[in-house]
C-alpha cells in the first residue's frame, strides 16, 4: 500500500495482505483487540481496521513523530496511537485496561519516508545531518554518539550490529577524522567508511553495514525487540496470533530463536518422578514463515530481505493435550 500524502511520504507496506491475513481476523475475532507494533505510515493498521467489526479495537505504537502525526489523522473511535516503542506494550495495554489481545503484528523495518528524508540521516544516498534516531524527540543523535564514544566501542558496535569485517579499521578512521573535524553529515561518514573498507561486496555500498549498525545501536532495536516479543507472548489470548516481519539476519535470528524456544517445552530430568499431566508444555504453535512474492519484490525492491514468522498462542486445553 502506498501513501498518497505526497512524494516525500510515499511508502509501500511490505507483506500487507499476508501480514493482516496472518492475524486471522474473522468471525468472533472481528470484535477483538489487536496491536500494530510499528504504525509506520499506517498500511497495516488501515487494513486491520477494515477487517475489524464495530466493537473491535486497534492499538498502534510508533516512536517516529512523523508517523504519530499521520496516525492522528485517522478518525476512527476503534483506533488509538501510542507515541512509544512496542517494547512498552505490556505497560501501555495495562494502562488502557487491556488484559489480553487477539493479535499482534510487529513490522521491524524502517519506512521509506524515514530512509528517503535526508534530514533523518538514515541513508548515505542523500547528504544530511547524521541523526538516525527513530524518535527525534529523545536520545542522542548518531553524530553525538560518534563524537563521544570510544574507538573500541564504535568498532564493536559496527562489528556486532553490522556484521562488518572491517569494523575496527572503520572505527580507527572515524577516530582519526573526528580529531580533525566533527563528523556531522551522512556523506562525510560514508566517505570515511569507503576509504577504510578494503574490498566491497558486489552491488552493495561499503557504508551499508556501518549505517545499519549505528542505526540499530542508537535506537536500541535489538534490545527492544527482545522485550517486545516477551510482552507480546504475555498479552496474547489463547489462539491469538503473533506475526513478526524482520528485514535483516540479526532481527530474524532473535525472532526465530524466541519462537522456537516457546514452541518447545523444556525437557525435565527423566530421573524425576513427574506425572505426564505435570510435564511442561509449549506456549505457542508455529504457523508459517512467509517471504514476499517475486511480484512484490519487483514492485518494491526494499521488500526482498523481508521474512515474516507467524505463531499462535496455545490454550490451556491444547497445552494439556
Rounded Cα distance between 156 and 196, Å, is 16
Asked if 19 and 40 count as a contact pair (C-beta separation under 8 A), the reply is no
Residues making up the binding site for S-adenosyl-L-methionine: 42-44, 62, 86, 107, 114
Residues making up the binding site: 42-44, 62, 86, 107, 114
- What values do phi and psi take at 69, rounded to 5? -60, -40
Amino acid at each position: 500500500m502506498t501513501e498518497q500524502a505526497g512524494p516525500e511520504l510515499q511508502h509501500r507496506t511490505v507483506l500487507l495482505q499476508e501480514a493482516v491475513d496472518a492475524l486471522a481476523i474473522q468471525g468472533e475475532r472481528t470484535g477483538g483487540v489487536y496491536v500494530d507494533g510499528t504504525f509506520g505510515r499506517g498500511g497495516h493498521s488501515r487494513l486491520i481496521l477494515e477487517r475489524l467489526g464495530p466493537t473491535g479495537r486497534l492499538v498502534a505504537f510508533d516512536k517516529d513523530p512523523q508517523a504519530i502525526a499521520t496516525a492522528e489523522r485517522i478518525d476512527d473511535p476503534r483506533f488509538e496511537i501510542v507515541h512509544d516503542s512496542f517494547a512498552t506494550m505490556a505497560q501501555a495495554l495495562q494502562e488502557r485496561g487491556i488484559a489480553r489481545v487477539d493479535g499482534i503484528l510487529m513490522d521491524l523495518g524502517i519506512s521509506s519516508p524515514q530512509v528517503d528524508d535526508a534530514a533523518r540521516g538514515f541513508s548515505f544516498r542523500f547528504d544530511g545531518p547524521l541523526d538516525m534516531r527513530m524518535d527525534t524527540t529523545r536520545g542522542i543523535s548518531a553524530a553525538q554518539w560518534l563524537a563521544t564514544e570510544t574507538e573500541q566501542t564504535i568498532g564493536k558496535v559496527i562489528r556486532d550490529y553490522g556484521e562488518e569485517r572491517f569494523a575496527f579499521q572503520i572505527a580507527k578512521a572515524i577516530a582519526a577524522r573526528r580529531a580533525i573535524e566533527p563528523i556531522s553529515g551522512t556523506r562525510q561518514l560514508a566517505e570515511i567508511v569507503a576509504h577504510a573498507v578494503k574490498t566491497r561486496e558486489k552491488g552493495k555500498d561499503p557504508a551499508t553495514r556501518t549505517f545499519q549498525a549505528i542505526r540499530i545501536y542508537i535506537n536500541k532495536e535489538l534490545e527492544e525487540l527482545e522485550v517486545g516479543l516477551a510482552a507480546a507472548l504475555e498479552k496474547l489470548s489463547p489462539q491469538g496470533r503473533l506475526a513478526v516481519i524482520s528485514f535483516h539476519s540479526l532481527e530474524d535470528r532473535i525472532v526465530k530463536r524466541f519462537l522456537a524456544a516457546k514452541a518447545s517445552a523444556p525437557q525435565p530430568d527423566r530421573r524425576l518422578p513427574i506425572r505426564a499431566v505435570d510435564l511442561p508444555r509449549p506456549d505457542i504453535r508455529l504457523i508459517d514463515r512467509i517471504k514476499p512474492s517475486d511480484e512484490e519484490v519487483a514492485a518494491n525492491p526494499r521488500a526482498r530481505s523481508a521474512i515474516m514468522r507467524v505463531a499462535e498462542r496455545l490454550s490451556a486445553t491444547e497445552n494439556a493435550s
